[in-house]
Amino acid sequence: MANGKIVLALAIMAAAGCENNGEGESAAPAAGAPLSSAPAESLKGHSNELRRDVVKVTDTVAVAIGFGLGNSILVEGETCAFVVDTTESREIAQEILAEFDQLTDLPIEAIVYTHNHADHVFGAEIFANGRDIGIYAHETTAAEVNKAVNIIRPILSQRSARMFGTYLDAGDNGFINAGLGPGLGVTGPNGGSIGYLPPTKTFANRLETEICGRAVVLQHAPGETDDQIYVFLPDEKVLMPGDNIYKAFPNLYTIRGTSYRDIVKWAQSLDAMRRVGAEYLVPSHTRPISGRGEINDVLTAYADGIRFVHDQTVRGMNKGMDPGALVEFVQLPPHLKDHPYLQEHYGTVRWSARSIYDGYLGWFNGDGAALNPPGRAERAEAMAKIAREQTTLIDAAADALAADRFALAAELATLALDAGGDETRARALKADALSAMGYQSVSPNGRNYLLTQARELRGEVKIEELPDERSIAFTRAAPIANFMASLPVNLNAEEALEVERKAEFRFTDTGDVFTVEIRRGVAIVTPAPADEPDLVVETTSLVWIDLLLGRRRAAPAIATGAIKFPGGLGDIAAFGNFMKLFRAE
């Protein structure tokens, strides 16, 4: 795949008459060249997905795509019609309303917001047209709109303008599209005006109601935002998932800035949507799809993509990887990487891995050198000096340490370690720098952290990674459901990439039953019996925990009847192979 891309890039560059200096992307492009690179071609191909169109999905449901960043969906009822999502400006909504007027004579008597984002709520006034109509949303949506509009608007709009390219054009500026739509129509020089209306009909978890004489299910489905809902029309089996799925890799983190998005819930919401058995899927970005089988496949791949990135990031994190290491470690397996709905035309795997790290552990990457790093001016001055005097990183670190510039010394020694070379000297320098910073720290947290890491660098201590007796006792005392929920982040994905297997676990001491499904690199645990299991295991929760923690061996447990395979679904080999996938290697 990677090689194919390089070949394609070279072919395109050759066709464009570009000279390649052998340094790939670092070559200075001629004017206009960025528009004919391999990434540009890929993104241009994606523009077709975003083309302006009004698609009749069923007799009563139509979706306007490509007018703005967001779609707007028209649903006709008995006596009136309603709109799901309103796009990001009054001007865009006006153009869509003109199209909807061609499709129906029914008045629009309600609006549903799938979530709080600008590209879904800012066009509302146009559809309401001055009338007091019902506006449905999750009960937290109004507060989220307030946060974006009033609390962090200055920085959010600046970064949104960059991210959506509202100051670019399709000429030499290199603009192609905005991933989820042809462009964002609310910031930048050509941005439209805001016509937001606050929700009037809100709910917490689920609302089964009638709108315009039609049965409508509104279900809270946290994902891309915490307030996300899906809309389901049970009579025609039309599912409107909001932004929990679109044809691009999910924006598990957005670079315009966002609070942590709980992506485990996002995957669970996709599972819940799969269970409704939709015949039509009409997202709020990109084009609708139909057919239960295809919808099922797309929702499954999307959930698996999210789970893979989450679980493997946490697994790497637990091994001690920092964000820089994680972006190298977490790579989608080929069947997900090549899936049409997981192309990085919006979110990316790398930003997601960083965000997951940050969501669990916050900004500190775990290296004491990054705790109180040198200021930007001090760092820049040091780099300039190294270049000017043609010294080495390690000598510069020694100089900084001798000058009592400990933060700088720690950072330069870290760089020297990363660059290879005299590792012993670099470790010693870093240890001394961290110790010195530790002794200066009035915070015991910082002091202890730095002094301990210095001892680790000197080889004086090694912090035990395996669980000790106390944590094992804690694990054994907690509900088995907690332990089962931790299995996915312990899955050895490399070993499980070709595995598709379903195991049912019955715990005779607690009465709990779980299904653990392994699906090509991801594990899904559900607290229910398995549908057509490959393996059924009956044991006690304590035996199972001890087995996975390596405190007990399977063969004697099976021989003594502590582990049974009811119905003959399983044997020691199948059980061993299954268990091995979750063992720390």
The least distance separating Zn ion from the CB of residue 185, rounded to whole angstroms, comes to 12
The CB density around residue 273, as the number of other CB atoms within 10 Å, is: 26
Of residues 115 and 315, the one with the C-beta less far from Zn ion: 115
Q: Looking at this protein, which amino acid is placed at residue 128?
A: A
119 binds Zn ion (CB under 5 A): yes
From 109-117, 130-138, 196-204, 479-487, span contacting Zn ion (CB under 5 A):
109-117
The CB density around residue 6, as the number of other CB atoms within 10 Å, is: 11
Of residues 88 and 344, the one with the C-beta less far from Zn ion: 88
From the list 331, 388, 324, the residue with the least C-alpha distance to 357 is: 324
**Contact flags string 323-352 toward Zn ion, x per CB under 5 A:** ------------------------------
95 binds Zn ion (CB under 5 A): no
The least distance separating Zn ion from the CB of residue 279, rounded to whole angstroms, comes to 24
Beta-bridge mates of residue 217: 208, 232
From 113-121, 207-215, 304-312, 389-397, span contacting Zn ion (CB under 5 A):
113-121
The least distance separating Zn ion from the CB of residue 189, rounded to whole angstroms, comes to 22
**Interface with Zn ion in residues 66-85 (CB under 5 A):** 70
Residue 420's region, left for phi above 0, alpha for psi from -120 to 50, else beta, is: left
From the list 180, 79, 81, 59, the residue with the least C-alpha distance to 127 is: 81
Q: How many residues bind Zn ion (CB under 5 A)?
A: 4
The least distance separating Zn ion from the CB of residue 88, rounded to whole angstroms, comes to 9
From the list 29, 2, 6, the residue with the least C-alpha distance to 17 is: 29
Task: Give 564's DSSP letter.
Answer: B
Question: How far apart, in whole angstroms, are the C-alpha atoms of residue 239 and residue 561?
Answer: 48
From 89-97, 115-123, 191-199, 425-433, span contacting Zn ion (CB under 5 A):
115-123
| Two tokens, residue 444 | 């015991």
227 binds Zn ion (CB under 5 A): no
Rg for the chain (alpha carbons), in Å? 28
The least distance separating Zn ion from the CB of residue 72, rounded to whole angstroms, comes to 11
Of residues 252 and 522, the one with the C-beta less far from Zn ion: 252
Looking only at Cα atoms, what is the longest distance across the chain?
A: 82
The least distance separating Zn ion from the CB of residue 70, rounded to whole angstroms, comes to 5
Instruction: Supply angle C-alpha 364, 146, 286, rounded to 5.
Output: 80
From 116-124, 207-215, 343-351, 539-547, span contacting Zn ion (CB under 5 A):
116-124
The least distance separating Zn ion from the CB of residue 396, rounded to whole angstroms, comes to 48
Of residues 199 and 488, the one with the C-beta less far from Zn ion: 199
- Euclidean distance between the first and final Cα of the chain, in Å? 28
Of residues 115 and 427, the one with the C-beta less far from Zn ion: 115
| Two tokens, residue 498 | 């070709």
Buried b (16+ CB within 10 A) or exposed e, 83-113: bbbbbbbbbbbbbbbebbeeebebebbbbbb
Question: Tokens 């509009």 correspond to what residue?
Answer: 149
The least distance separating Zn ion from the CB of residue 249, rounded to whole angstroms, comes to 15
Beta-bridge mates of residue 513: 506
Of residues 87 and 539, the one with the C-beta less far from Zn ion: 87
The least distance separating Zn ion from the CB of residue 246, rounded to whole angstroms, comes to 8
Question: How far apart, in whole angstroms, are the C-alpha atoms of residue 393 and residue 387?
Answer: 10
Of residues 188 and 234, the one with the C-beta less far from Zn ion: 188
Q: Looking at 76, 91, 226, 243, which residue binds Zn ion (CB under 5 A)?
A: 243
Residues that bind Zn ion (CB under 5 A): 70, 117, 119, 243
